[in-house]
Structure 1
Amino acid sequence: MTPPLTPLRRRSMLQGLGCLSAGLAVGAAAPPAAEMAETVRPPDVTTTPPRQWGPSAPPSYTPDPDVLVIDRSFKDLLFGAATLHRVWDQGTWLEGPAWSSEGRYVLMSDTVTSRQYRYIWETGEVTVFRPESYHSNGNTFDYQGRQISCEHFLRRVIRWEHDGSVHVVADHYEGRPLNSPNDVVAHPDGSVWFTDPSYGTGFTEGHADEPGGEANPDGRIRWRVGAELVGVVGGTKRQADHTFRVDPSGRVDAVLTQAQLPNPNGLCFSPDHKNLYVVSSGRQAGGNGHDGDLAIHMFDVQPDHTLANPRLFTNMRYQGVQMGADGMKVDVFGNLWCGASGPLGLCGVFVFNPEGHLIGRIRLPHGVSNLTFGGPKRNWLFMCAGESLYRLQVNTQGAGPA
């Protein structure tokens, strides 16, 4: 018996018949091989047939072919009628999405152009939020609704107060300046936790070190170019990269040293704040001597705010490929949704259950730098991937403030 046509098989057949009828109608011969070599490009998508993105793309089939169930439990987290959408593609390198409950928008940073944008919930528009963000990266909102941002260029973490003033959360540790704070999360006790690798100590996302620093060892880089934007630059030489906690009193403590976890990147708490997840990323630009292991690590948060019981949550290896983890968030059930970089077809979002087992994937045509849950019910997943922002309605909710 001939099996019934699935939506994808129907679409393949219809496209094939459409191409055949078009060829018969115009009676055109096939173009020369040389011409085809110039015009035919490899698909930049992961589905078969190739998927189209953007507002003019035809409706996708459901369930979405790029939302992949690995374990049955992942189905419980999905809304079966939802499809992936690319809602904006005018960025350069988007990072740090965070949902403002009060403003009803998704805030995000373009680390390259040094701007912040917002996706407005009611209209779906993306507008410039701050035309100069000092190469901000990670963002979050604390439990009072205040925006907290990591600024690469000024090498600091700041908080925007409700009256519009700026409070410097941290810019030094033990008398030395920070590197380039990367990702940040808020704790209900009023503390702020952030990672401080050195990805912003270069042209693209911040500024280089002064001569002699790791990011400018021979002094050839004109490290002050760009300082005219603000008249001053943040720290001048790379320091060891740590993971920090800033107490409500303002005291800055290193909860993880470079030796304990090199190249810290994304971080987030479990829903009950008893555990902290931290990504250890790859070698930094201009770095001399240490690499992260590209894995996600898990720690117990002690009553005295120190971390204990370090353990591997996942090594981020999939189908024999070492993937790169970046930003991540947990849902109310404790599942970890993590941005993943790697080969086309594998990159996108990986979803792990609380035990560290991969239960699902979201394929996108670019690695995801960071993600957040947003919308009035916190049941929309927003994903920053390269120059684009994607969204997917899900059947779970993000835990804590975005």
Structure 2
Amino acid sequence: MITTPQHLHILDDRFAALVHPMSTLDVIADGFTWTEGPVWFGDHDCLLFSDIPSQRILRWSEAEGLSVFRAGSGFNNGNTRDRQGRLVGCRHGARDVVRTEFDGSLTVLANAFDGKRLNSPNDVVVNSDGAVWFTDPTYGILSNFEGYRSDPEQPSRNVYRLPPAGELTAVVTDFVQPNGLCFSPDEKTLYIAESGSSHDASVPAVIRKFAVDGGSLRDLGVFATIDKGLPDGLRCDVLGNVWTSAADGVHCFAPDGKLLGKILVPQVVSNLCFGGRDGQRLFITATRAVYRVFVDVHGAEPWTQGAG
């Protein structure tokens, strides 16, 4: 008889179909300070992720293990890929969103709004029309630990959209601290984490849901509430389930907002992404380590759906 492993907390049969009782929660890299921003590069068979305080982007692969992809990363936090396969990242130090070109050079995509410096871009996604969407809380300027202490110049902590050819616009302006964000598989819905409870216990630890209408958003209210800690990074799978970070691990919510189950992790989780050669590995960045676990579903992002 196969019993459910300790790292799986199954609340619904739908979650049981997404995980496997013989799966293991494996540490693939450790010894860091605060890991973040995992992104899978199937065409290179590797995972990139940030260790924010050490100002490094690390590279991990099954074949070659761990190496430094970029030193002096400027307190890089969240990462994603654009539809051409280029790395797009958020740098707390420079307070910008930057793209790594194929020749290794860096292109700054956004560093100001209305003539004032951004706060500290945190997480980023790119949808199929090539627009870059990112959150801009103040975590990177609150101290010198993961950025440079500074007063904010923006009057609010916004979510922004940058089209391939056009001006940066603030699409949501009423968050306390916007954090992770992800699109549903059909890109008709954008989920955004509210992590303001990190410094104000009165702020609800919720994921908000927005209908996407081209370059604008319509608020659909609270999608889900996190019962342990707060939401940080999050991703959708191809079935529309939302997998989000939390204090006790990764929580999986159905498209209707019901909590299906949890992957319990011994460290506070910051972010996650789908990947692996078969597209069925969930990579989890936590406080000091990066974990990997088998899941029986692919990520909604096209580059996570196998080796390519």
Deviations 1:324-354 (A, max 9, x none): 111000111011110101xxxxx01100010
Aligned residues: 302
The aligned counterpart of 1:253 is 169
1: CA distance, partners of 2:127 / 2:182: 10
**Which one-letter code corresponds to 1:391 in the other structure?**
R
> Cα distance, 1:238 vs. partner?
5.5
The aligned counterpart of 1:191 is 131
> Cα distance, 1:310 vs. partner?
2.4
Does the 8 Å contact 2:15/2:260 carry over to 1? yes
Over the residues paired in the alignment, what is the CA RMSD in angstroms?
1.9
The aligned counterpart of 2:258 is 357
**Which one-letter code corresponds to 1:361 in the other structure?**
K
Does the 8 Å contact 1:62/1:82 carry over to 2? no
Matches within 5 A, 1:9-20: none
1: CA distance, partners of 2:168 / 2:62: 35
Does the 8 Å contact 1:262/1:290 carry over to 2? no
Cα distance change of structure 1 residues 392 and 168 upon mapping to structure 2, 3 Å threshold: same
**Which one-letter code corresponds to 1:243 in the other structure?**
V
The aligned counterpart of 1:120 is 61
> Cα distance, 1:167 vs. partner?
1.1
Matches within 5 A, 1:150-229: 150-201=90-141, 202-209=143-150, 213=151
> Helix, strand or coil for the counterpart of 1:324?
coil
**Which one-letter code corresponds to 1:263 in the other structure?**
Q
1: CA distance, partners of 2:53 / 2:82: 25
How high is the sequence identity, in percent, across the aligned residues?
A: 39
The aligned counterpart of 1:48 is none
Cα distance change of structure 1 residues 113 and 295 upon mapping to structure 2, 3 Å threshold: same
2: CA distance, partners of 1:373 / 1:315: 22
Matched, 1:270 2:184: yes
Cα distance change of structure 1 residues 291 and 165 upon mapping to structure 2, 3 Å threshold: farther
Does the 8 Å contact 2:116/2:154 carry over to 1? no
**Which one-letter code corresponds to 2:222 in the other structure?**
L
The aligned counterpart of 1:66 is 7
Does the 8 Å contact 1:261/1:292 carry over to 2? no
**Which one-letter code corresponds to 2:226 in the other structure?**
M
Larger relative contact order (CA 8 Å, sep ≥ 6): 2
The aligned counterpart of 2:89 is 149
- Shifted more, 85-94 versus 130-139: the winner is 85-94
**Which one-letter code corresponds to 1:144 in the other structure?**
Q
The aligned counterpart of 1:139 is 79
Cα distance change of structure 1 residues 146 and 72 upon mapping to structure 2, 3 Å threshold: same
The aligned counterpart of 1:40 is none
Matches within 5 A, 1:17-36: none
Matched, 1:300 2:206: no
Cα distance change of structure 1 residues 195 and 314 upon mapping to structure 2, 3 Å threshold: same
The aligned counterpart of 2:225 is 315
> Cα distance, 1:65 vs. partner?
1.9
> Cα distance, 1:360 vs. partner?
0.8
**Which stretches in structure 2 are left out of the alignment for 5+ residues?**
none
Q: Which has the larger radius of gyration?
A: 1
Cα distance change of structure 1 residues 283 and 82 upon mapping to structure 2, 3 Å threshold: closer
Q: Of 79, 83, 87, which residue of structure 1 is paired with 2:28? A: 87
**Which one-letter code corresponds to 1:378 in the other structure?**
G
> Which is strand-richer, 1 or 2?
2
Q: Of 323, 326, 329, which residue of structure 1 is paired with 2:235? A: 329
The aligned counterpart of 2:246 is 340
**Which stretches in structure 1 are left out of the alignment for 5+ residues?**
1-5, 7-60, 215-236, 342-346
> Cα distance, 1:79 vs. partner?
3.1
Deviations 1:164-198 (A, max 9, x none): 22111100111111010000001110100000000
Cα distance change of structure 1 residues 62 and 131 upon mapping to structure 2, 3 Å threshold: farther
**Which one-letter code corresponds to 1:373 in the other structure?**
F
Using structure 1 for the length normalisation, give the TM-score.
0.72
**Which one-letter code corresponds to 1:191 in the other structure?**
A
